[in-house]
Structure 1
Amino acid sequence: MAYGGVDVLHGIDLDIHRGEVFALLGPNGAGKTTTVEILEGFRRRSAGEVRVLGADPERGDDAWRGRIGLVLQSWRDHGRWRAGELVAHFAAYHPDPRDPAELLALVGLGDQAGLRVDRLSGGQRRRLDVALGIIGRPELLFLDEPTTGFDPRARHDFHLLVERLARDEGVTVLLTTHDLAEAERLADRIGMLVAGRIRACGTPAELARRAAARAEVRWTAADGTVHRERSADPSRLVWELHRDADGPVDGLEVRRPTLEDTYLHMVHRESDDTEALAG
């Protein structure tokens, strides 16, 4: 994909399996929005082949669009509608919609059904966006920064909803988020998009191994000093510590690489590579 002769995406090769939750991560400017807009059919690609639910998004008809749900980063329309009326209005466009009242209760807006949309808080408006995205029972759901503005309880409830949609209803979910803990919890697989290329794709555990991120082992020595050591093989280090101490090791902790460690490792590596080429 190119803008004005400048490539934004570089030969992305990506398969997302039916019924899985796939998270697309990357820093600002990496090409996430462009990628998702191409998949949604909102942006024309400059080259390559794309198939979404068996169709080319550029040629998707109304029936194809009816199989897709969208939760965009932000909507600013429909301010004068009441929340319940708006969900019911959207439901009328689908052949087998969810019950509007049940759906509002599901996303935590049962008590706000009679409120005008422009009177909802930011978090409540985000929940309404989610309700509108799933009212038509989509087969594929695009979630673009879905929990922005959610408090911890609302975020937890939303995560349970996404897990239920994927597990019980077989909905395929493509999630973009800057919340790495959210991606680590929800995603079956994660793709890391850096500088327009998919640099890695796999489960969080696979990505940690592939990035060679090291675990941190902490322990307290006999003299009371606290030691920290990073190791690619923490099990061996722990065994050696037990052997040397001839028994339990005080204050022993092993901190495995997180998704955040892996993400930062890859982004920094890409930055270092770019600087080396420029030099």
Structure 2
Amino acid sequence: SSQLPLEAIAMGTGSVYTCQKSFRAEKSDTNKHLAEFLHIEYEQYFITLEDLLDFTERYIKHIIKTVLERCQEQYTFLNGKATSPPEFHGHAEYLKTLLTKPFKRIKHEDAIQVMQQDLRDKVKRVNAQGKEVKLKFKEKPMSGEDLGSEHEKYLVEKFGTFVFVTHWPSKIKSFYMKQVGDGTCESFDLLAPLVGELFGGSMREWRYDVLEAEMKSKNMDMAPLQWFVDLRKDGTAPHGGWGMGFDRLVMFLTNANSVRDVVPYPVYYGHCPY
């Protein structure tokens, strides 16, 4: 990720972005994960978390609208090749409906409570075969824990649109995210229909003493990142940003079955032929 140097650059420009390769050594062999992917990253100063969420929503809707306007021929082709929810006539029509809906915003703990309550209420859902079945998760959603793909999928399904999950537990998020003081940080994941997590972002911790304390609490070696911490002494201000997987965005826009289908030479766990 280029996030840390982007923060430094944004101090002088106000806002900045980059688009380049990132690499992950995670042992994730799913249809949504790559070990090498195209990463769009963005940083901006003098904003709040709500500003960041508002910008992200406008950004995604602008992309969908522009692609639908400029790629009508391609979507006509995809209508016969990809599978969208049965109530929509082709993927383009499905995307158009998403443009009309505001993104749902919900705190991480509230999302956990919603899913736990739905389990207690024995809520019904429609499975991949079109049958109504009782809600069930392989891993029960738990307070203070990460969300699995099945949880992401259910939240998007429940609210029928993109979902911002905000204010994640600090213990499972990165050291540089702005601390709230209640064990959470000003962070978000944007969950997209069909693909799950599409964006990850946060307000950045701009208070020197709080950042230093957070790094110590995570037993981090501060020496390699002292330059980053010292930025807080050089006239910093409230700022935030996000990262988005471009390949996963294309997967969403085309309704591809796998992110590997939208990358010419995919590199993923256990597969790197060059």
Task: Please indicate the TM-score interval, normalised by the length of the shorter structure.
Answer: under 0.3
Q: Greater Rg, structure 1 or structure 2?
A: 1
- TM normalised by structure 1 equals 0.23
